[in-house]
Amino acid sequence: MVYFPARKCYHAAKLGILLILVVALLSFFEKWRGGKLSTGATFSDPVEAEFERQILEDEARIIPGLGEGGVAAHLVGEDKRLGEESEKKLAMNVYLSDRISYNRTLKDYRNQACTRVVYDAELPSASVILIFHNEPYSVVVRTVWSVVNSARRNNPWFAKANYVERDTGKTMTLGYPGQDPTSPFVYLKEIILVDDNSTLPELKGKLSHYVRTRLPPDLIRILRLPDRIGLTQARQHGARMATGDVLVFLDAHCEGSWDWLRPLLQRIKDSREAVVTPLIDVLDQTTFQYQTGNDDFEVGGFTFTGHFTWIDVPEREKKRRGSDIGPTWSPTMAGGLFAINRAYYWEMGAYDEQMAGWGGENLEMSFRIWQCGGTLETIPCSRVGHVFRSFHPYGLPANSDTHGINTARMAEVWMDEYAELFYLHRPDLRNNPKIGDVTHRKILREKLQCKSFQWYLDNIYKEKFVPVRDVYGYGRFMNPSSGFCLDTMQREGEAVPLGVYPCHAQLQATQYLSLSLAGELRDEEKCAQLQYTRRENEVDEDISRKVLMATCHGKQRGQKWKYEASSGTLKHADSGLCLSAGRDSSADVLARTCRGQPDQRWRIDYAEYNHFTRDDVEPSDRDEKLKKLRGQRRISRSLLSYSSGESNALPSSESPRRKSHRGKHKRKRTRTKNKFIVKLLRTLANGTEDHLEVDIHCKHRQLYPNNSFVRDLVTILNDRNIKVQDI
């Protein structure tokens, strides 16, 4: 046995501790710099050596701990000014991004109930596809690191999984089918970076060198396109290259939160036809703070202008999903982040090959999924942060109107007669050869036996306001004495003044308003309300209030109007003030004390009082299409007010032709029997059937079997498994 002096043992212990600290420190630096350290690495190729030098300089700029945990990052002094300048130019604080760790950690932002969900150990493999064109280098690299880190086998969330197949009882292993159990990355088969012909040099050889030296090279592939073809077609190229069971499309400026991938894969495993999106949070473009709302998230909607919107989850959907974290149906998707079974993607027609650039493809895919038998769902337990830029710092291919053209292609194939509402906003695209041939997409629709757009509105997006449906009137709201019409003036914002402008000869989008059966004076998204509510003791004063277009809340309070058919006035229900045109073109419209003056009289192009037919012009093809869309709708008597005893009194300005036309319709209705029979059928659990015939008598002389009231009744009966055989 050999003995060592105590002093030598002491120094050996100190040396060992020092070595441990050095290793720990090097590991720390490796983490916040974003990859492997290249200390001592040499490259014989001078080009590669130059890339290495540039990357080391980039890593040296990173500030340890900056933005860690998803908190807001801030710079001071000259650095702050340079960051602000970069944001003005690139719609993102790139100067700050370059100083935040490429693989920073994020907090767990999920609903606490998500932590109790147990996913299957064996899930489909994923191919994550990222498209970029002149994206900031540091943002692209951070997105890649976020995907890589979320799939590491040693992540704490993988400690809990279901290892027994529910249907077969088969034992499962953690990973995708056939995956090497020793692989350090779970479920992630590949990351495909598609460079849509970027011109920034750092996105070329430097990015490739970074992937080779600091990221798992066998996990990441870079596809470089020789020409810029836009997001839609670039994704097609990435999808063709993919080999995973599931395609996961992400924008190149994202960061995934804890365990964001598994919920998407589990849902697709459970339902092959489910196309799923994560809950999209905000990465602030100024501070890169990861911002979340509360658990009452929003889903996708759309406007007939062809744009995507966010809407609240309907109450009926909250009941259907059964849980705050359950898969939530979404009428549309934003399109930047979603996952889909790869085989199903191609079966459903993938992206429209003739859509160029960006825009419209998300609504096209959304409508196609729903109308052709799939579902579009938001998965609340999957959260991904996304940088929402205030503007696009780079143009589209050839500076073309890709959004409009793509949307027109979508409308022609999927919206049926409702495409007319899109063309109301974009008449320049009607029959425009720029749209191209859509025959092959219509053949796809027939092949897939897809449902109508009316079915989509009736079953998937029941809350959608259709400007010609369920309305008392629509079109131009004209003040005859001035020749002015109500006009939204293309103003944007949460609450903007409603204006007046000389009436256009043809119906234009800014003058296209509706008075809904709920009493809302509105366009597609916003309703008219007063800037201030009426104060006490102002009844006899000549008061006035600005009229603002604000988000419709559906509660009527403050947004309900009544049209007085005898006087032609539009009266605000809460205040009793009347809408006044004023004398100046382009002025803001006001609500004033009702005085019966000419500037308070309004005519509506198409309304119940004129049987939705204008006297002054012959109906155009578009008018006929809009009228067909409207269908039969009942009058809401709560919206009408008459000064005479005759319930059908019309404005005194009515033309003799219209009076004659009305008289004929009145006599015809008098002779019509307002009685019909409804035959009902219900099939019981034991296979027997109940039959019932119901006599319905309509006291309301304008209520017919094909009226909306009857159709709503039929819908309620169908929901209770009671079929209406005949009416």
Residues 523 and 621 in one domain: yes
Quick check: is 475 in a domain? Answer: yes
Condensed to tens digits (0 to 9), the pLDDT of residues 422-448 reads 998 888 999 999 999 999 999 999 999
3-state SS assignment for residue 528: strand
23: β partners: none
Residues 623 and 529 in one domain: yes
Residues 76 and 54 in one domain: yes
Model pLDDT, residue 43:
79
- Among 81, 97, 113, where does a domain finish? 97
Residue 249 token pair = 């499309």
Residues 569 and 666 in one domain: yes
Distance (Å) of CA 498 to CA 465, 474, 475, 521, 689? 20, 16, 15, 11, 56
Residues 664 and 688 in one domain: no
Quick check: is 656 in a domain? Answer: yes
Condensed to tens digits (0 to 9), the pLDDT of residues 470-525 reads 888 888 999 999 999 999 988 888 889 999 999 988 778 899 999 998 899 999 88
- Among 71, 97, 123, where does a domain finish? 97
Specify the CATH number for the domain of residue 535. 2.80.10.50
Interstrand relation of 298-302 and 274-283 (parallel, antiparallel or unpaired): unpaired
Condensed to tens digits (0 to 9), the pLDDT of residues 376-399 reads 999 999 999 999 998 888 766 555
Residues 667 and 683 in one domain: no
Which amino acid does the sequence have at 530? L
Q: What is the DSSP letter of 405?
A: H
Condensed to tens digits (0 to 9), the pLDDT of residues 19-68 reads 555 444 444 444 434 444 444 467 788 999 999 999 999 999 999 999 99
Quick check: is 250 in a domain? Answer: no
Q: What is the DSSP letter of 140?
A: H
Concatenate the DSSP letters of all residues of 212-278 into one string. HHHS-TTTEEEEE-SS---HHHHHHHHHHH--SSEEEEEESSEEE-TT-HHHHHHHHHH-TTEEEEE
Listed in sequence order, the residues at least 6 apart from 279 whose beta carbon sits closer than 8 Å to its beta carbon are 297, 378, 379, 380, 382, 383, 384
Predicted confidence (pLDDT) at residue 464 exceeds the cutoff of 70: yes
Residues 576 and 595 in one domain: yes
Quick check: is 198 in a domain? Answer: no
**Structural domain boundaries, residue 712:** 675-726
Residues 683 and 603 in one domain: no
Quick check: is 55 in a domain? Answer: yes
- Among 75, 97, 119, where does a domain finish? 97
Residues 679 and 667 in one domain: no
Model pLDDT, residue 487:
94
Residues 659 and 552 in one domain: yes
- pTM for this prediction: 0.79
Quick check: is 128 in a domain? Answer: no
Confidence of residue 669 (pLDDT cuts 50, 70, 90): very low
Segment 591-614 mean pLDDT? 84
Predicted confidence (pLDDT) at residue 1 exceeds the cutoff of 60: no
Segment 559-580 mean pLDDT? 92
Confidence of residue 715 (pLDDT cuts 50, 70, 90): low
Residues 602 and 686 in one domain: no
Quick check: is 434 in a domain? Answer: no
Model pLDDT, residue 298:
95
Residues 477 and 558 in one domain: yes
Quick check: is 330 in a domain? Answer: no
Our count of domains for the chain comes to 3
